[in-house]
Amino acid sequence: MDLRPTSELAEAAADLHGEPDVESTVQSVLEYAKALTGGDGVAVMFRQAGRPAVMSATSPEAAEADLVQIRCAEGPGLQAMCAGDAVLVDDVAADARWSSWSRPVSELGFQSVLSLGLGTHRSSIGALSVYSSKTHAFAAERAELARLYARHASVALVSARHESGLRQAMQARHTIGQAQGVLMERYGIDAEQAFAILRNSARDHGVKLSERAEQIVASRPADVG
């Protein structure tokens, strides 16, 4: 993917919004970030249950560089995630801000990093980090372009996660309704009673309501309890 600065930014944004799911959106975010910045590796972290986790990367080295941040609890990606803005490291080996992080990242072959916060005005969802084998790899114009791109990427990722969540919620609601129907027919009870049985059964089995509903829909009568 060979992109010229600014002229392809709108096309990148449109493509990101056209992806069918979160996984595809993440991969496109990585590919476009690498093309727009000229970086050697890109990784993306998301917040999961309040903790950062590496979701994907363009190379094992980029993934490891992000994992180093998580293990050391310091680094430009984590700072960008908290600040919701860009954090630039022109020379990893000479940067004194994150002493525990800089050496292992240098050993991975990366000499400069541009980390971009991902999220909305309401919340942060993660960070996108672009790694380069050269020092001072990200000129001011390139960094500004990356900031603009990060905004588009954030909207696309939030939208994809929202759509994915809605689809999962709709599917879970449908499955719960099916399970209620099975229980109503099986025991000659009404919908409210069927839901109470389903809820109690989920608690007894130590699973989510939707998971127990799936089990009941697929089970034989003797398996329910």
Structural domains in the chain plus CATH codes:
9-165 (3.30.450.40), 167-223 (1.10.10)
Rounded distance between C-alpha atoms, residue 186 and residue 180, angstroms:
10
75 and 69 Cβ atoms separated by less than 8 Å: yes
Rounded distance between C-alpha atoms, residue 166 and residue 175, angstroms:
14
Residues 6+ apart with CB under 8 A from 146: 33, 36, 37, 86, 114, 116, 130, 138
149 and 32 Cβ atoms separated by less than 8 Å: yes
The per-residue pLDDT string of the chain (225 residues; one tens digit each, 9 = 90 and over) reads 444 555 667 667 667 876 767 777 888 888 889 988 999 999 999 987 778 999 889 999 999 999 999 999 999 999 999 988 899 999 999 999 999 999 999 999 999 999 999 988 777 889 999 999 999 999 998 889 899 899 889 888 888 877 777 567 667 878 888 998 999 999 999 877 888 898 888 888 888 888 899 999 988 554 444
H/E stretch holding 15 reads: helix 9-17
